[in-house]
C-alpha cells in the first residue's frame, strides 16, 4: 500500500474508490483515508459500523468526534507524525474503548499518501482486531496485559479502582501505570474512566435502566458523580445522550 500511495494522488477519486473496494467486504477491518487536516474523506462500511454512524455523518469530521478525548488525541498525534515525517507506522497494537460499549485489541497501520510532486497530502490506514487464543492472537506481552484489562472490565460494577487492579496484577501502582503508558499511552485511571463511560453509553442507548441504575452498574458511587464524569468525557449529560441515541435509532 505504501508503494501505491507513493505513486498516486489523493486528489483523484480513483485512489479512494480503489482502496475502499479492497476493504469493502472485510467485516472487522477498518479502513480510512484522511486529508492533512486529519478529516476523514473515505471509509469502508466496517468503519461506519465501528462508530455507529452513517457514512454521511462521518466524512469531513475527525477522530475527536467519535472517540474519547484521550484516544482521539493519540490517534491524531499518530496521523500528524505520519504527515510530518512521511514515514509509516506499522502494526501498532492498541486497546480501544469506544463510545458504544466496545473494547478490543487492534493492530493499526498508517501510511502517508504522497502526490506526484512528492508532497504528503494525507494518510490512509487499516485497523484489524487481535484476539487472545484466536487465529490472529495478541503477542505474549500484550496477552498478559490483556488479563489485567479483563479483570478491570469484569469488576467495573464493584467500583474497582487503580490500587485494586494493581493488587490483582501483583504489582505496584507505579509499575501498573508504566505498563498502561507503554501499551496505551493512558494512565490506569484514564482507562478506567473510559471503560465506565463506554459501558454507560451502551446502557443508555440500549437498556431500560434509569440513570441511577446505570451509574451504580458502572461503578459510580452516585448519580451526581456519574453525571459529572459523563459530561467531562462526552460533553453532554447522560439524559441528553440517551435522548439523542433514541432519536438516531
Gap between the Cα atoms of 124 and 24, Å rounded? 15
Higher pLDDT, 82 or 54: 82
- pLDDT score of 135: 55
To the nearest whole percent, how much of the chain has pLDDT over 70?
84
- pLDDT score of 244: 81
Domains 2-129 and 140-248 share a fold: no
Whether residue 136 has pLDDT greater than 90: no
| Average pLDDT of span 84-96 | 89
- pLDDT score of 168: 93
Gap between the Cα atoms of 127 and 136, Å rounded? 13
- pLDDT score of 68: 78
Whether residue 186 has pLDDT greater than 90: no
Gap between the Cα atoms of 29 and 25, Å rounded? 9
Whether residue 170 has pLDDT greater than 90: yes
Whether residue 1 has pLDDT greater than 50: no
**H helix or E strand, kind and range, residue 215:** helix 211-217
- pLDDT score of 172: 96
* pTM attached to this predicted model: 0.71
Cα 146 to its chain centre, rounded Å, is: 16
- pLDDT score of 18: 64
What number of residues does the chain have? 249
- pLDDT score of 150: 85
What class has domain 140-248?
Answer: mainly alpha
Q: What is the CATH number of domain 2-129?
A: 3.30.450.20
- pLDDT score of 132: 56
Q: What are phi and psi of 170, to 5 degrees?
A: 70, 35
| Average pLDDT of span 156-171 | 91
Looking at every residue in the chain, the average pLDDT score rounds to: 84
The helix/strand/coil state of 112 is: strand
The structural domains of the chain, with segments of one domain joined by +, span 2-129, 140-248
> What's the Cα-to-Cα distance from 204 to each of 65, 72, 185, 233, 237, rounded to whole Å?
19, 22, 28, 15, 11
Give strand pairing partners of 79: none
Listed in sequence order, the residues at least 6 apart from 230 whose beta carbon sits closer than 8 Å to its beta carbon are 197, 200, 236, 237, 238, 241
- pLDDT score of 204: 92
pLDDT band of 77, cuts 50, 70, 90:
very high
- pLDDT score of 105: 81
| Average pLDDT of span 31-36 | 95
- pLDDT score of 247: 65
Q: What are phi and psi of 67, to 5 degrees?
A: -120, 165
Amino acid at each position: 500500500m505504501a508503494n501505491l500511495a507513493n505513486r498516486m494522488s489523493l486528489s483523484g477519486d480513483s485512489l479512494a474508490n480503489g482502496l475502499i473496494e479492497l476493504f469493502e467486504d472485510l467485516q472487522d477491518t477498518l479502513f480510512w483515508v484522511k486529508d492533512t487536516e486529519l478529516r476523514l474523506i473515505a471509509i469502508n462500511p466496517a468503519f461506519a459500523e465501528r462508530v455507529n454512524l452513517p457514512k454521511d455523518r462521518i466524512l469531513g469530521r475527525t477522530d475527536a468526534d467519535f472517540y474519547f478525548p484521550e484516544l482521539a488525541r493519540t490517534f491524531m498525534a499518530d496521523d500528524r507524525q505520519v504527515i510530518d515525517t512521511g514515514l509509516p507506522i506499522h502494526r501498532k497494537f492498541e486497546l480501544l474503548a469506544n463510545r458504544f460499549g466496545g473494547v478490543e485489541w487492534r493492530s493499526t497501520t498508517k501510511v502517508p499518501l504522497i502526490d506526484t510532486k512528492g508532497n504528503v497530502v494525507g494518510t490512509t490506514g487499516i485497523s484489524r482486531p487481535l484476539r487472545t487464543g484466536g487465529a490472529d492472537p495478541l503477542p505474549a506481552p500484550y496477552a498478559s496485559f490483556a488479563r489485567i484489562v479483563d479483570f478491570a472490565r469484569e469488576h467495573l460494577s464493584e467500583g474497582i479502582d487503580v490500587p485494586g487492579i494493581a493488587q490483582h496484577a501483583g504489582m505496584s501502582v507505579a509499575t501498573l501505570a508504566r505498563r498502561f503508558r507503554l501499551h496505551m499511552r493512558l494512565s490506569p485511571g484514564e482507562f478506567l474512566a473510559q471503560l465506565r463511560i463506554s459501558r454507560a453509553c451502551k446502557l443508555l442507548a440500549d437498556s431500560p435502566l434509569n440513570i441511577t441504575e446505570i451509574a451504580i452498574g458502572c461503578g459510580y458511587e452516585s448519580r451526581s458523580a456519574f453525571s459529572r464524569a459523563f459530561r467531562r468525557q462526552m460533553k453532554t449529560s447522560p439524559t441528553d445522550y440517551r435522548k439523542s441515541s433514541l432519536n438516531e435509532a
